[in-house]
Amino acid sequence: MPFDIARVRGLFGTLTDGFVHADGPAGSLVPERVVSAVSTALTRPIGNAGGVFPASQRADQMRESARLAVADLVGGDPTGVVLGPNMTSLTYAMSRALAKSWQPGDQVVVSRLDHDANIRPWVQAAGQLGVDVRWAEIDVETCELPDYQYDNLIGPRTKLVAVTAASNAVGTRPDVRAIADRAHAGGALVYVDAVHAAAHVPLDMATLGADFLAVSAYKWCGPHIGAVVAAPGLLEGLRPDKLLPSPDRVPDRFETGTPAFELFPGVAAAVDHLADLVPSTGLADRRHRILASMAGVESYEASLLQRLDAGLRQIPGVSVLGRAQHRTPTVSLLVKGLPPRQVVTELLRHGVCAWDGDYYARELMDALGVNELGGATRLGLAHYTSVAEVDHILDAVASATA
Cis peptide before 245 (omega within 30 of 0): no
Domain contains 347: yes
**pLDDT, average across residues 193-218:** 98
Q: CA nearest 69: which of 114, 40, 33, 26?
A: 33
Are 14 and 66 in the same domain? no
259 and 341: one domain? no
201 and 220 belong to one structural domain: yes
Distance of CA 322 to CAs 25, 58, 80, 169, Å?
17, 48, 36, 10
Q: Are residues 11 and 77 in the same domain?
A: no
For residue 159, what is the domain's CATH number? Answer: 3.40.640.10
197 and 324 share one domain? no
76 and 218 co-located in one domain:
yes
Q: Which amino acid would we find at residue 59?
A: A
Q: Where are the beta strands (DSSP E) in 99-250?
A: 107-111, 132-136, 158-164, 189-193, 212-216, 226-230
CB 219 within 8 A of CB 28: yes
Q: How far is CA 266 from CA 56, 116, 220, in A?
A: 18, 26, 11
Domain that holds residue 365: 5-32+293-401
Please report the beta strands in 183-317, taking only residues with DSSP state E, as ranges in sequence order.
189-193, 212-216, 226-230
Domain shared by 204 and 67, yes or no: yes
How far is residue 358's CA from residue 28's CA, in Å, rounded to a whole number?
18
**Model confidence band, residue 402 (pLDDT cutoffs 50, 70, 90):** confident
pLDDT tens for each residue of 52-94:
999 999 999 999 999 999 999 999 999 999 999 999 999 999 9
Reference 135, options 375, 366, 333, 371; nearest CA is: 366
119 with 213, same domain?
A: yes
Which pLDDT score is estimated for 322?
Answer: 98
307-350: pLDDT as tens digits: 999 999 999 999 999 999 999 999 999 999 999 999 999 999 99
pLDDT of residue 324: 98
pLDDT band at 306; cut points 50, 70, 90:
very high
Q: Both 307 and 362 in a single domain? A: yes
How do residues 264-274 score in pLDDT, each as one tens digit? Answer: 999 999 999 99
Dihedral, CA of residue 18, residue 39, residue 269 and residue 200, to nearest 10: 30
365 Cβ neighbours under 8 A, 6+ residues apart: 169, 358, 371, 375, 376
pLDDT tens digits for 357-371?
Answer: 999 999 999 999 999
180 and 43 within one domain: yes
pLDDT bin (cut points 50, 70, 90) of residue 2 is confident
Asked if 218 contacts 263 with a C-beta cutoff of 8 angstroms, the reply is no
Bridge partners (DSSP) listed for residue 229: 81, 213
User: What whole-number distance in Å separates Cα of residue 179 and Cα of residue 173?
Assistant: 12
pLDDT for 282 equals 72
At residue 280, the pLDDT reads 78
Q: For the chain, what is the domain count?
A: 2
Q: CA–CA separation, 368 vs 112, rounded Å?
A: 10
